[in-house]
A and B are shown apart, each in its own frame.
Chain A
């Protein structure tokens, strides 16, 4: 029996080096093959783009502008500061983008909740949106984690099933629209990730005393895993780098907690009609664990359902004396605040449940003044029922 002469390497010094071929196919080869056969049209990622490493080493192209903003119904409907912050960031960097009205949601929240649809309908909804993006001359940037996950699933089904392609083609022919698929399925948080250093250069608030926890969205990194972005410098490349990379770039702390891999408890159907489950899971498995193990000032995530569930579940749980009370927001809202975005006019934090005031105070934001400024604009709108807040108002 041999005797160990040295201690095993510590986790912090251990290197994970990828060897051999990725366990999954490069879907782009299949996509381009189908294009060569005339089955569909591939929309290329427009320049300028940045290439980043994905789970199994493939380089993914992330477009910096000319993006078609595939909005999220949950974000726009219930947490509008989420989408507004994404647009605001694009505007701060003078990026050319398109916010379309000719866009449906992916309809996948309903599909995962109720299954009252089928593969052909779901694929046709996706392709209709992609075709419209191509016709508008912009590249799809997906705001929602559910849409991102679902469109990856749709891609897998379209690539491998001739019958489905034929069905979708018949639908698109009736709609008089082309059969288009984008070269990459890109989530907005990937855009935020590649823009993190530029965002940090425009940072006006000091976040060095802000401690965060990060919840990676299930449909981002668990559903069709090979598209998700990883970085060897973050968690040794063992967890997705999304969100955490931004937090580090902004000088805030990413604190670890044991249930990082757990879902938020959204459940699709549950958050709407069986919320006792969502509340219990979100607070007992996520919020309380974070509070106990990391005590963060804020928890950040990058999906509609996660922000909603983690935030809204905390109110009634307080009544039971549970250890909750962590503000929840998206990476985009966090980035926008760092760059000086208005907490109410841009980040619309009054739509969130958990009290954000202690966090804002720690960030150096005068929330009383900010709320008075919002109220001033809202008062004006109230008097004139046809007016809207403009981007100029938001930055005034």
Chain B
């Protein structure tokens, strides 16, 4: 039972929560993330997210240490997405690493296609598409006033002059507007193989089926051009 009277998600079967909790603890990184907690609060004092959200890295460390499965599930669905992943919390005198606990928890949330994860990543889908299809996360043509209105008039100036300004950069790898740099076709091909071989594409299917379908089509086309069949790439993690 949760230690909190107002615990949420009490309608979710305990066994389901326990299964996800165990998945976090089964991750190979788990053994080096938690060594007990002094409750000193250093991690919270160092944490940027704790200043602006109802979020505490200490709670993650303590709940995991206490094996409070109900509260774990609540964190997994709510504040896990508030973390900044800066790892300032590693200032912990016990050498706990709440940031990595959260990385693992997020991975479990994505792997299970939790609706909270889908919601948290809803506006982020196009970034996932960009990184997985091109190997670069951001591109010059993302600098549009509609997407970054809060970044000021310079964004408008960049978007209006994008083509010329990109050509007015000396390194030849950067003369592109759609990619951060001119990524070779070979790189993209090998990345697609990695996504398939490591089951990464399957994760995307669970979180955003639309993006998965577009990605698979793009990957299939390039692999096919190079004489590969996308279905020939087995998931090596399942061995």
- Number of B interface residues in the complex (CB < 8 A): 85
B225: shortest Cβ distance to chain A, in Å? 17
Q: Any chain A CB within 8 A of the CB of B41?
A: no
Instruction: Please indicate which of the listed interface residues A102, A156, A157, A285 has the most CB atoms of chain B within 10 Å of its own CB.
Output: A102
Given contacts A77-B138, A101-B181, A105-B136, contact A388 B175 (CB under 8 A): yes
Q: Which of B88-105 contact A (CB under 8 A)?
A: 88, 90-91, 103
Instruction: Please indicate which of the listed interface residues B28, B32, B180 has the most CB atoms of chain A within 10 Å of its own CB.
Output: B180
Q: Any chain A CB within 8 A of the CB of B48?
A: yes
Q: Any chain B CB within 8 A of the CB of A252?
A: no
CA A315 – CA B154 in complex, angstroms?
Answer: 10
- Contact partners of B150 in chain A: CB under 8 A: 275, 279, 312, 315-316
Q: Any chain B CB within 8 A of the CB of A200?
A: no
Contact yes or no, B124 A273, CB < 8 A: yes
CA A120 – CA B29 in complex, angstroms?
Answer: 12
Instruction: Please indicate which of the listed interface residues B109, B139, B174, B203 has the most CB atoms of chain A within 10 Å of its own CB.
Output: B174
Contact yes or no, B28 A164, CB < 8 A: yes
Q: Any chain A CB within 8 A of the CB of B8?
A: no
Contact yes or no, B194 A171, CB < 8 A: yes
A55: shortest Cβ distance to chain B, in Å? 13
Q: Any chain B CB within 8 A of the CB of A114?
A: yes
CA A125 – CA B191 in complex, angstroms?
Answer: 7
Contact yes or no, B170 A393, CB < 8 A: yes
Q: Which bracket fits the contact residues of A?
A: 35 or more
**Stretch in B12-20, B65-73, B157-165, B216-224 with 4+ CB within 8 Å of A:** B157-165
Contact yes or no, B171 A84, CB < 8 A: yes
B236 in complex: contacting residue of A71, A117, A120, A345, CB < 8 Å: A120
Contact yes or no, A76 B180, CB < 8 A: yes
Q: Which residue of A lies closest to B47 (CB)?
A: A263
Contact yes or no, B87 A223, CB < 8 A: yes
Contact yes or no, B203 A348, CB < 8 A: no
Q: Any chain A CB within 8 A of the CB of B137?
A: yes
Q: Which of B173-230 contact A (CB under 8 A)?
A: 173-175, 179-184, 186-188, 190-191, 193-195, 197-200, 203-204, 207
Contact yes or no, A128 B52, CB < 8 A: no
- Contact partners of A171 in chain B: CB under 8 A: 193-194, 197-198, 236
Contact yes or no, B84 A378, CB < 8 A: no
- Contact partners of A377 in chain B: CB under 8 A: 168
Given contacts A101-B184, A121-B195, A125-B191, contact A266 B86 (CB under 8 A): yes
- Contact partners of B157 in chain A: CB under 8 A: 350
CA A131 – CA B27 in complex, angstroms?
Answer: 26
Q: Which residue of B lies closest to A317 (CB)?
A: B150
CA A263 – CA B128 in complex, angstroms?
Answer: 24
- Contact partners of A124 in chain B: CB under 8 A: 194, 197-198
Contact yes or no, B237 A267, CB < 8 A: no
Contact yes or no, B168 A374, CB < 8 A: yes
A287: shortest Cβ distance to chain B, in Å? 14
Contact yes or no, B48 A102, CB < 8 A: no
Contact yes or no, B48 A285, CB < 8 A: yes
Q: Any chain B CB within 8 A of the CB of A12?
A: no
CA A255 – CA B230 in complex, angstroms?
Answer: 56
CA A69 – CA B109 in complex, angstroms?
Answer: 35
- Contact partners of A71 in chain B: CB under 8 A: 173, 180-181
Contact yes or no, B28 A121, CB < 8 A: no
CA A164 – CA B124 in complex, angstroms?
Answer: 28
Contact yes or no, B91 A120, CB < 8 A: no
CA A77 – CA B155 in complex, angstroms?
Answer: 13
- Contact partners of A121 in chain B: CB under 8 A: 194-195, 198-200
Contact yes or no, A269 B81, CB < 8 A: yes
Contact yes or no, B170 A394, CB < 8 A: yes
Q: Any chain B CB within 8 A of the CB of A109?
A: yes
CA A325 – CA B182 in complex, angstroms?
Answer: 34
- Contact partners of A374 in chain B: CB under 8 A: 168
Contact yes or no, B88 A263, CB < 8 A: yes
A258: shortest Cβ distance to chain B, in Å? 13
CA A246 – CA B73 in complex, angstroms?
Answer: 47
Q: Any chain A CB within 8 A of the CB of B40?
A: no
Contact yes or no, B128 A389, CB < 8 A: no
Q: Any chain A CB within 8 A of the CB of B44?
A: no
- Contact partners of A11 in chain B: CB under 8 A: none
| Shortest Cβ-Cβ A-B pairs, 6 listed | A104-B135, A315-B152, A115-B106, A77-B180, A121-B198, A73-B180
Tell me the A residues contacting B by CB distance below 8 Å.
71-78, 80, 83-84, 87-88, 99-105, 107, 109-121, 124-125, 128, 132, 149, 156-157, 161, 163-164, 167, 170-171, 174-175, 177, 218-219, 222-223, 225, 261-263, 265-270, 272-273, 275, 277, 279-281, 285, 312, 315-316, 345-346, 348, 350-353, 374, 377-378, 381-382, 385, 387-391, 393-394
